Structure 1
Amino acid sequence: MTFSQLLTILRARYKIIVLTLLVIVLATAAVSLALPKTYKTSTTVLLNYKGADPVSGSVLPAQLASGYMATQIDIVTSRRVALKAVDNLGLADQPAFKQRFQQLTHGNGSIREWLADTLLKMVEVAPSRESSMIEISAKGGDPAFVAQVANGFATAYQQLNLQIKVEPLQQAAKYFTGQVAALRANLEDAQGKLSAYQQEHGLVSTDNRLDVETARLNDLSSQLVQAQGQAAEASSRGRQAMGSGGRDSPDVVSNMLVQNLKSSLALAEGKFAQLSQNLDVNHPQYQAAKAEVDRLRAELNSSIGATNNAVANNGRILRQREAEVRAALTAQTAKVFQLNHARDGLSVLVKDVESAQHAYDAAAQRLTQTELEGQSHQSDVSVLNPAVAPLFAISPNVRLNVVLSILLGAMLGLALAVLAELANRRVRSSTDLINVLKAPVLGTIAWGRPPRRFAFSRLFLTR
């Protein structure tokens, strides 16, 4: 079938086309006007996608995950959000919804669950492209109600988002409260052991440089060194005093009394030697001079002996002092060793106290931060554009439906015209005749109104 044949058929069957077009358009318009109107409105919420926590100041790491936006969309469309929206709007207490619930379910089940399912069917959630915003849309027959549903879902999502963040922190705060109490008890026990140990061993500090006993040990060491030096010097003087009758010892040489006695004895001996040459032994002057020499010699020997005895006594005293200092040093060393051993135990207890203090401080700090974050009312979700009641319905769209019905009616009319022609095929042109008879056409007779040129010539001849 050629295009010219198709045009001939359509021209002959135009009534079918027109009738079909009218029926389709009128039916579409009637149905569109009879359908209930549907309204749609949207609420836009903004997520704190890369913000910082207002309490702790740390960057929210969970929001940096690739599936964060998809997770938030699933939360918005969850039954928990729907139930919270039902409770916030108070729909379960409205008589109209109660009556509707009784009619549809005959009172079986929970009205909250039924309302949640109804609202979930009304709500659609879509993320904005390349942004941190979510659009919550609601569709229904009541424009005011769909606006309430959209805003109710946004509010419920905001509350649930905060609740999801706060609930783990509150549970963690309870855990840290118990841990802090246990760590406080451990700290008090460690401090009690440390105090008892210090009182038992008389220790104040673990630093032995600040200890009196250590200072005393150092002082005794210095005294022992000094006593040893003095005792060695005294022993050397004693040995010198024992040799040569003790007359060449430094103490005797440096003694002024001995030196004076030596000078007096030398004078007396000189005088006695001179008298002994001139006088007899029985002469009173001879005897007096001899008695003076003997007396001075006796005094000199007595002084030398006393000096040597003093040196020997001093040596014995110094050696005794050395022994006493050595014994005191040995006792003090043992005492210091004992204190050092006790101080080692004190160091262990001090470290236990420090460890318990650090653990308690860390747990207390975490508890304070967790309690502060758990009491936060700052949500990561903000309502950017609340929904308002729509003025115009989104469906049915009468104009669009009429345009589509015209296209559909035209296509259906053309199809019916062609089918009607195929069902009752007729010869409508010379081409059809050629196809049927398989013979050449010698000529055609034009039926209907003559060509326009004959009409013009006929009009011209009449005038």
Structure 2
Amino acid sequence: MTFLQLLLTLRARIRVVLTIVIGTMLTALAVSLVIPKKFTAGTAMVIDVKSPDPIAGMVLPGMISPSYMATQVDIINSDRVAQRAVKLLHLADDPSFRQKWQDATEGKGELGVWLANELQKKLDVKPARESNVININFSGPEPTFVASAANAFAQAYIDVNLELKVEPARQNAAWFEGQTRLVRERLEAAQQAYSDYQQKSGIVASDERLDSETARLNELSTQLAVVQGQSSESHSKSLAAGDAGTLSEVLQNPLINSLKADISRLESKLQESNINLGKNHPQTLRSQSELASLNARLASETRKIIHSIGTAYEVSKQNESGLRDAIEKQKARLLGVSRQRDDISVLKRDVEMAQRAFEEVSLRTSQTRLESLSVLTNVIILNPAFVPTEHASPKILLNVLLSLFLGTLFGGGYALMQELANVRVRSTSDLALALKLPVLAAIPHAAAPSGRRRGRFATIFKHRSPYKPVAWKAATSSSGGARP
């Protein structure tokens, strides 16, 4: 079918088309006026995903995830948020809602759950495109209630979002509290063991005691070296005791030197007396007696010195032996102090590790405790919902325009179906198509009005066709075909 044939068909069946169009429009208008009006109130919220957490001091990685906004939309649509909105609206205390619940469920189930499900049916949550804004829209027959419900859902989402953040922090805080007690007990046990070992060993500062013991050992070693030198010298002198005159103690002794001087003087005097007085003279004899006494005294003093050298050697040997024993004891004591130092170093490291663990756990406990007490959230209400002044549906003008389009579509379709069911000749092209013969001429039904030239489409819609429509079968029933 050509476009001209379509226009001719619509012109011929214009009454049917107009009837369907007008009927559709009237039906849509009636339905739009009869159905109850619905109001829609909306609120917009901004989700801050770029600001750092006030407690952690950093941007949480989960907040910058692409699925974060979708998760927030699912949270708003959750039963938990809906039940919180029911509590904020106090719907359970409203007798009318309780009666509706009784009528719908016959008292079965929970009132809060049923009310939450009813509210969710009228809720529409949509995130804004390419932004961090979420729009919450609520629809219903009462404008005041829909505004309150939209704001209630926004506040319920903020409360639930805060709870979802705080509840894990509270669980973590409780767990960290237990861990803090454990690490505190370990720290106290380590400190007690360290203190007990210090009291038992008498070590206050292990490094200082080790240094003092080392200095004591060095001092004893020095003393042993000195005593060994003295012992060696005494031994040498005792070996040279046969020639006492060569000993430095004898040569440097003032008394021996004085006795030697007196002996030398008496010997000179005795020699003079022997020459002058004779050997038997009493003076000579007295000089001999004095000389013998001085020699005896010299020999006695020499023996004393030699004896003192031997005694000094024995004392040196005893001192050397005592110092050797003291050095061995000091070495053993130093080794004991070293072992104690190692033990106390281990205990001290245990205390330090327990202290660091306690500080780390305490810091984390304080942080989780602050998080559990937090009242901060990253959700901000951008535009609260207000009571709508105009209903959102039904939209009468839109429905009428839509019914006009649909009526025209249905009317045209119905006309085409009728035309295909009962085909008629409405133009020369239809006749040529039916007879399969060329059209030589066409006699108009009436002369065209003079004055101005009308277009082809104006002729179609303003004047009747030059041919009377005939049935398709009547035009083709004669034998051999009909000629125009």
TM surpasses 0.5:
yes
Q: In 2, distance between residues paired with 1:14 and 1:134? A: 50
- State the Cα RMSD in Å: 2.6
Deviation digits for residues 129-180 of structure 1, max 9, x if unmatched?
2222222222222222222222111111111111111111111222222222
> Is this contact kept in 1: 2:166–2:371, CA < 8 A?
yes
> 1:395 is paired with a residue of what secondary structure?
coil
How far the C-alpha of 1:278 sits from its partner, in A, is: 4.4
- Percent identity reads 42
> Is this contact kept in 2: 1:238–1:308, CA < 8 A?
yes
How far the C-alpha of 1:114 sits from its partner, in A, is: 0.9
Aligned residues: 452
> Is this contact kept in 2: 1:234–1:312, CA < 8 A?
yes
* Alignment pair present for 1:169 and 2:169: yes
What corresponds to 1:27 in structure 2? 27
How far the C-alpha of 1:25 sits from its partner, in A, is: 1.8
> 1:135 is paired with a residue of what secondary structure?
strand
Given candidates 279, 282, 285, the residue that maps to 1:284 is 282
Show the 5 A alignment for 1:94-109.
Answer: 94-109=94-109
Q: In 2, distance between residues paired with 1:227 and 1:67? A: 89
> Is this contact kept in 2: 1:122–1:138, CA < 8 A?
yes
Cα distance, 1:309–1:450 mapped onto 2, change above 3 Å: closer
> 1:452 is paired with a residue of what secondary structure?
coil
Q: TM-score, normalised by structure 2?
A: 0.85
Stretch of structure 1 that moved more, 444-453 or 386-395: 444-453
> 1:247 is paired with a residue of what secondary structure?
helix
Deviation digits for residues 56-105 of structure 1, max 9, x if unmatched?
32321221333222222211111111111111211111112112112222
Q: In 2, distance between residues paired with 1:228 and 1:371? A: 73
What corresponds to 1:459 in structure 2? none
What corresponds to 1:384 in structure 2? 382
How far the C-alpha of 1:424 sits from its partner, in A, is: 4.0
Q: In 2, distance between residues paired with 1:170 and 1:347? A: 39
Aligned residue identity for 1:253? L
Aligned residue identity for 1:378? L
What corresponds to 1:409 in structure 2? 407
Q: In 2, distance between residues paired with 1:157 and 1:321? A: 93
Show the 5 A alignment for 1:14-413.
Answer: 14-207=14-207, 209=209, 215-240=215-240, 242-244=241-243, 246-413=244-411
Deviation digits for residues 314-362 of structure 1, max 9, x if unmatched?
3322332232333333333333433443444333333333333333232
Aligned residue identity for 1:223? Q
Stretch of structure 1 that moved more, 17-26 or 272-281: 272-281
Q: TM-score, normalised by structure 1?
A: 0.88
How far the C-alpha of 1:121 sits from its partner, in A, is: 1.2
Runs of 4+ in 1 over 6 A off after TM superposition: none
How far the C-alpha of 1:387 sits from its partner, in A, is: 1.5
Deviation digits for residues 245-283 of structure 1, max 9, x if unmatched?
x11001111122222322332233233334434443212
> 1:207 is paired with a residue of what secondary structure?
helix
Q: Structure 1 unaligned runs (5+)?
A: 455-463
Q: In 2, distance between residues paired with 1:95 and 1:83? A: 18
> Is this contact kept in 1: 2:256–2:301, CA < 8 A?
yes
> 2:42 is paired with a residue of what secondary structure?
strand
Stretch of structure 1 that moved more, 121-130 or 344-353: 344-353
> 2:52 is paired with a residue of what secondary structure?
coil
What corresponds to 2:449 in structure 1? 451
Q: Structure 2 unaligned runs (5+)?
A: 453-484
Q: In 1, distance between residues paired with 2:59 and 2:408? A: 62
What corresponds to 1:460 in structure 2? none
What corresponds to 2:477 in structure 1? none
> 1:54 is paired with a residue of what secondary structure?
coil
Cα distance, 1:209–1:196 mapped onto 2, change above 3 Å: closer
